[in-house]
């Protein structure tokens, strides 16, 4: 272990802490993004910028989280991530408010059920603009901030099992455009990770399986389907995505970049 720094030698729980770090999470007021925000706060993040378009939920989230985690500063920013110019403005505000960005999580995304034969250019590009363009714009803006402050940061893109396998038509039909967009996100993490390595910026993706969220509730039909569709026989929770996100955000994953982490209860193995 000669020549390694103290942080590189550290294999204790301290390596997973986010103390002193500023984290940005898009889609951060509920669902998977909200779970990641909570996980980062539990890991001791100093500042968390929550980006979303649900202003009322954002205000409530800041209020409740600030009471629960008084040592972490939370701030909400309204942003349509598919708008490049707006992304530059908001990330400029985050720079002014907090300075360096240490961790970026690009989680915001949309899914609309529509058969391939019914797509128009507008319906197709609506998903691509958010899931692909918006993911790139926010990752790029964060990377620019990291380079500006010479921060060896971590960028986490939220992919999906739909970026690896196609959603079954008998269970989740009409998601071809979503699958294509998430496949792009998974590959984007690798491409960005290769190019940003010279700046000591790591880029990885997380690919969740079916997670209980406001847009994917654990209704009777879903529970019955996933009881036999996955080896673990259930849907996941946002907290089960937040834990590996904390790992990728922290020094514990200092030698990990250009990878995709599947958290799917074993679904793709079947």
Domain boundaries, the chain: 19-265
What are the start-end ranges of the E strands in 59-201? Answer: 73-78, 103-106, 154-158
Active site residue 160: yes
Nearest to 109 by CA among 215, 20, 37: 215
| Cβ 119 vs Cβ 173: under 8 Å | no
User: What does the pLDDT read at residue 128?
Assistant: 98
CA 259 vs CA 36, 228, 237: distances in Å: 19, 28, 22
pLDDT in tens, the chain (270 residues): 556 666 666 666 899 999 999 999 999 999 999 999 999 999 999 999 999 999 999 999 999 999 999 999 999 999 999 999 999 999 999 999 999 999 999 999 999 899 999 999 999 999 999 999 999 999 999 999 999 999 999 999 999 999 999 888 777 888 999 999 999 999 999 999 999 999 999 999 999 999 988 767 667 777 788 778 899 999 999 999 999 999 999 999 999 999 999 999 999 998
Q: What pLDDT does 228 receive?
A: 82
Q: What is the dihedral of CA 108, 112, 113, 116, to 10 degrees?
A: -100
From the candidates 160, 205, 207, 250, give the one annotated as an active-site residue.
Answer: 160
Which member of 137, 182, 250, 253 is catalytic?
182
Q: Token pair for residue 89?
A: 């403005």
Question: What's residue 6's pLDDT?
Answer: 62
| Fold for the domain defined by 19-265 | Rossmann fold (3.40.50)
- What is the C-alpha separation between 113 and 189, in angstroms, rounded? 25
Model confidence pTM above 0.85: yes
The whole-angstrom separation of Cα 43 and Cα 243 is: 10
Contact 140, 146 (CB under 8 A): no
Our answer to whether residue 178 is catalytic in this structure is: yes
Closest CA to 30 of 69, 1, 57, 66: 57
What per-residue confidence (pLDDT) applies to 10? 60
Catalytic residue among 21, 178, 247, 250: 178
């Amino acid at each position: 272990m000669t020549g390694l720094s103290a942080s590189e030698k550290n294999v204790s729980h301290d390596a997973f802490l986010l103390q002193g770090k500023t984290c940005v999470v898009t889609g951060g007021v509920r669902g998977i993004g909200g779970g990641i925000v909570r996980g980062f706060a539990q890991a001791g993040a100093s500042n968390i910028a929550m980006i979303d378009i649900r202003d009322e939920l954002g205000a409530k989230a800041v209020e409740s989280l600030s009471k629960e985690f008084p040592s972490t500063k939370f701030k909400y920013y309204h942003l349509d991530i598919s708008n490049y110019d707006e992304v530059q403005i908001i990330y400029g505000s985050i720079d002014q408010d907090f300075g360096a960005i240490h961790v970026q999580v690009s989680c915001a995304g949309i899914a609309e059920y529509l058969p391939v034969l019914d797509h128009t250019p507008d319906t197709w590009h609506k998903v691509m603009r958010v899931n692909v363009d918006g993911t790139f714009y926010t990752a790029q803006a964060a990377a620019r901030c990291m380079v500006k402050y010479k921060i060896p940061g971590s960028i986490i893109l939220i992919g999906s099992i739909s970026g690896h396998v196609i959603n079954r038509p008998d269970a989740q039909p009409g998601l071809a455009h979503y699958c294509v967009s998430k496949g792009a996100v998974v590959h984007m993490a690798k491409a960005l990770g290769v190019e940003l390595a010279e700046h000591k910026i790591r880029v990885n993706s997380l690919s969740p399986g079916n997670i209980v969220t406001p847009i994917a509730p654990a209704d009777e039909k879903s529970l019955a389907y996933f009881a036999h569709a996955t080896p673990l026989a259930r849907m996941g929770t946002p907290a089960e995505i937040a834990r590996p996100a904390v790992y990728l955000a922290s020094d514990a994953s200092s030698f990990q970049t250009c990878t995709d982490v599947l958290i799917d209860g074993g679904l793709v193995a079947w």
